[in-house]
Chain A
Amino acid sequence: MKLSPIGLLVSAVLLGSIPNIHAEEQSPVVVTATRTAQTIDSSLASVTVITREDIENASADGILELLRNSVGINVSRSGGTGKSSSFYLRGTESDHVLVMIDGVRASSATLGTFGWENLALNQIEKIEIVKGPRASLYGSDAIGGVIQIFTRKTRNLHADLTAGTENTQSLNIGIGGGKDWQYSLTAGVYETDGIPALESTTEDNGYDRQYATFNLTGKLGQSTTLTTTSSYSDGTNELDAATGNIRYTQGTSSIKLTNKTTTDWTQSFNLGYALDRSTSYSPFNPSNIITRRYSAGWQHDITFNRNMLTLGLDQWQDNATKDNSGIIDRNITTSAAYTQYQMDFESNDIIIGARVDEHEIFGQHETWQMAWGHDFDKSFRFVLSHGTAFKSPTVNDLYWPNSSDVFGGTTYISEGNENLKPETSRTTELSLRKTYQGGNSSINLFSTKTDDMIDWVTTQTGPVEFTSRPTNINSASIQGAELQVNIKKENWLVSASMTYLDAINNATNKQLDRRPQSSLGLTAKYTNGSHIFQTELTMQGKRTDRDGSVNLEAYTVVNLVYQYNINKQWRIKGTVENLFDEEYVMASGFLGNYNTYGLRSFLSITYNGI
């Protein structure tokens, strides 16, 4: 019998997961799809992916400016560039998000939060924002969701130079290539005079950063792939003379081995390391805090027909040292085992997962998750999910060294609490997604209840003595709705999102700080040949700060971006941020409101080798 090769090309997925077919004369059937989020199966989770191209098209000077337009995220920053930045995912706390850089748990072991301000946009290839609990796969912190950052992978020589308001200067150079073994190296410097951190001060608080990112990936034999990544930044964050400057170093390294053992069985083994070093030159309270996280993971993906079983082991050790102002020198180990089963049948897909974490101090904690997706037809999808999550107490919560200050004859003591339990949560989400010609839209409704939240509680422990210790005391109830619409028509790409949040502190019955009830984001991009115009609008509703005692007004910030591709190699970009010079406040502290930027403009020139 003779064989007849037949050729056709089928290409799947322009938007969502629906096949799209192109014309091509070559022979085989080619089924193409856009890469979906790697962090989690995006068919069953609400995921926002920000690509390198999105970053390049945006006006953003830093990650806070980039993400504040995203659906389901609220941001705040205590001053200008480089000052402490917080992200609140779906109304949860700023440390209720698991931050991973190339798969490595990257947040500080003492603070529990990630130093967002020290990450350069030029170090980033892609950001995946996964909303909803993922503790049953990733463990502690993934209450509001997971933000995973994939570091920059450049395939050629590139360089860019930016200058702008407040004496901001940035230079970035990268090189990459290779075939069997692909490498990428990016390095740069950034500095700015900044603005006074507080509205009440007049001296600029500047910031600088040096950074480098390196990736190498290649095959070790027929079925094994090795990937290593390393990404670091360091610099100086200027603060008031009374507070003293901070010198920081922050970074992650990872090694991952992936082995295709059989056609049904893939396993991966990874090692990770995260460093967060902060040296304070405070005239009163100088300190040097170093936290390190060492992690190891082993995951198996086993295919049964169209279903997949995932089994994994995870272990990490938090190591924290602190000197000068009290000593912490601790290691805490967490070990975990997890399993997940993904089923795909007819127009349904289901995921069930469970995980057990064994924490050295508080012991065992179990989490689970379940999600069901159903396609009513090829363009209308519904997803229902429920999951539990937790957050382990930080090293500071557990082991803050006993320290006391005396004010007016009264002694104030603060110390950690070794008897803390983890903060826990449960979330239910309903998601409706519609795909249509030239666009898509989604509505997510979610409800999260968080219990045993840790807060420092002060009690009177003597006639003239007060002691402050972290306690599992608070609880919060969050209900929210997100709406996202993306439309592509001719030269226009418009994306609009709206978030509604009812995030209540159950003890006070007030909305949680820095979380507006309503927020809006709008991005419109117009492309005409080598000219690209983009407008961005961010609206944040009224919020409070300092436990509801300070009211922060609603604000709207509008940005404009114009890019011109001179030729294939050279591009210029002009940006105006806060076009209408809106005066607004993102955060308030005990010294008053923190400053924000008025109108800023930047000009950059980029070279991209072929």
Chain B
Amino acid sequence: MFGRYKTLTVFIIASITVHIGIWLGGSSNRAATVSGLYSPEYSIRLIETNSRSSQAKTEHTPIPNYKDQATKQPQSKMALEDGVNSKPEKPDASRVISALQRQLSKHFFYPNMARQRGWEGTVVLMVKILPDGKIQRISLEKSSGYSLLDNAAIIALQKVRQLDPAQGYEYTFTIPVIYRLEG
């Protein structure tokens, strides 16, 4: 019967309409996704750092802006070389954090199975970062009550294998991750 051809015709019309929709709604390339739905306007605040030389200094840093960081990639690379070669006296906290935040943001997710079931909770993770920027250990300090959420947070951090730039210092953080549903 005609049925199949009609469906095909509708499909073609539909595809064209969708592309018009995409065009109206804005570009669909990756960059747009990163700056759009992955809106990078988040912040991070370091309260305390602990250096390998045990000369711990508490530093309050201004909130770095991700957009600025993203557009200054070459500078970050220079900073990386500086970090490795000259072993700075004190850790550049904002760089560690901006590296962390940039890389974390790509990986955190809310598992669909948990969203569907309305599961919420707070996972507390402990993370150790080696002087070369590698994440050496992630451990579960406190469960959210759901292993699905605990695992999702751990997986998110595991994906951040190497922090860039390297610091020349070792850090151990606890990171509370709150999973919260809205609407």
Contacts and interface: CB of A to CB of B under 8 A. Distances in A.
Contact of B44 (A3, A6, A344, A517): A6
Contacts of A30: 177-178, 180
B72 interface: no
Contacts of A24: 42-43
B68 interface: no
A63 interface: no
Nearest to B11: A481
B136 interface: no
Contacts of A40: 116
Q: Which DSSP category, helix, strand, loop or mixed, fits chain B's interface?
A: mixed
Contacts of B122: 28
B32 to A, nearest CB: 5
A4 B7 contact: no
A487 B176 contact: no
A51 interface: yes
Contact of B38 (A2, A21, A477): A21
Contacts, number: 269
Contacts of A31: 108-110, 153, 177-180
A33 B110 contact: yes
B147 A5 contact: no
A485 B113 contact: no
A476 B141 CA distance: 57
Nearest to A43: B112
Contacts of A260: 145-146
Contacts of B175: 5-6, 28-29
A19 interface: yes
A438 interface: yes
A42 to B, nearest CB: 7
B21 interface: yes
Contacts of B56: 2
Interface of B: 1, 3-4, 6-7, 10-11, 14-15, 17-18, 21-22, 24-28, 30, 32-33, 35-50, 56, 63, 66, 97, 100-101, 104-105, 108-113, 115-118, 122, 126, 143-148, 150-153, 155, 171-183
Contacts of A487: 21, 24-25
Contacts of B126: 3
Given A441-B22, A483-B17, A25 B43 contact: yes
Interface of A: 1-25, 27-38, 40-43, 51, 223, 260, 263-264, 266, 301, 303, 305-306, 308, 342, 344, 349, 377-379, 434-439, 441, 443, 445, 477, 479-481, 483, 485, 487-489, 498, 500, 502, 504, 509, 517
B176 A29 contact: yes
A437 B35 CA distance: 9
What are the 3 A-B residue pairs with the smallest beta carbon separation, nearest first?
A439-B25, A437-B36, A28-B176
A19 B113 contact: no
B41 A22 contact: yes
B42 A15 contact: no
Nearest to B47: A5
A485 B17 contact: yes
A41 B112 contact: yes
Contacts of A23: 41-43, 63
A35 B26 contact: no
Contacts of A263: 143-147, 150
A29 B3 CA distance: 52
Given A4-B173, A438-B25, A443 B11 contact: yes
29 contacts: A2-B50, A5-B173, A12-B108, A14-B37, A19-B105, A21-B39, A24-B43, A25-B63, A27-B45, A27-B176, A28-B122, A28-B175, A32-B179, A34-B181, A35-B118, A36-B115, A263-B147, A266-B117, A435-B33, A436-B28, A437-B27, A439-B21, A443-B14, A483-B17, A483-B18, A485-B21, A489-B25, A500-B10, A504-B3
B108 A35 contact: no
Contacts of B36: 436-438
Given A32-B180, A263-B145, A441-B21, A41 B116 contact: yes
Contacts of B152: 306
B178 A344 contact: no
Nearest to A435: B37
A28 B142 CA distance: 14
A325 to B, nearest CB: 42
A20 B4 CA distance: 40
A535 to B, nearest CB: 17
Contacts of B10: 481, 483, 498, 500
Contacts of B48: 2-5
Contact of A6 (B35, B46, B183): B46
A96 to B, nearest CB: 20
Given A15-B37, A504-B1, A29 B115 contact: no
A443 B26 CA distance: 19
Contacts of A264: 147
Nearest to A305: B151
Contact of B155 (A20, A29, A306): A306
B112 A502 contact: no
Contacts of B109: 12, 17, 19, 31
Nearest to A44: B112
Pick the most buried of B21, B56, B171: most chain A CB atoms within 10 A of its CB: B21
A53 to B, nearest CB: 9
A434 B41 CA distance: 23
B22 A22 contact: no
Contacts of A33: 110, 115, 179-182
Contacts of B38: 18-21, 378
A38 B116 CA distance: 5
Contacts of B14: 443, 481, 483, 498
B182 A32 contact: yes
Given A34-B183, A434-B28, A441-B18, 4 more contacts: A3-B48, A17-B115, A437-B32, A502-B7
Nearest to A17: B112
Contacts of B143: 263
A13 to B, nearest CB: 7
Given A31-B180, A38-B118, A480-B7, A379 B1 contact: no
A483 B105 CA distance: 32
B25 A437 contact: yes
Contacts of A38: 116-118
B167 to A, nearest CB: 13
A29 B104 contact: yes
Contact of B42 (A21, A223, A305): A21
A296 B41 CA distance: 48
Contacts of B27: 436-437
A485 B23 CA distance: 12
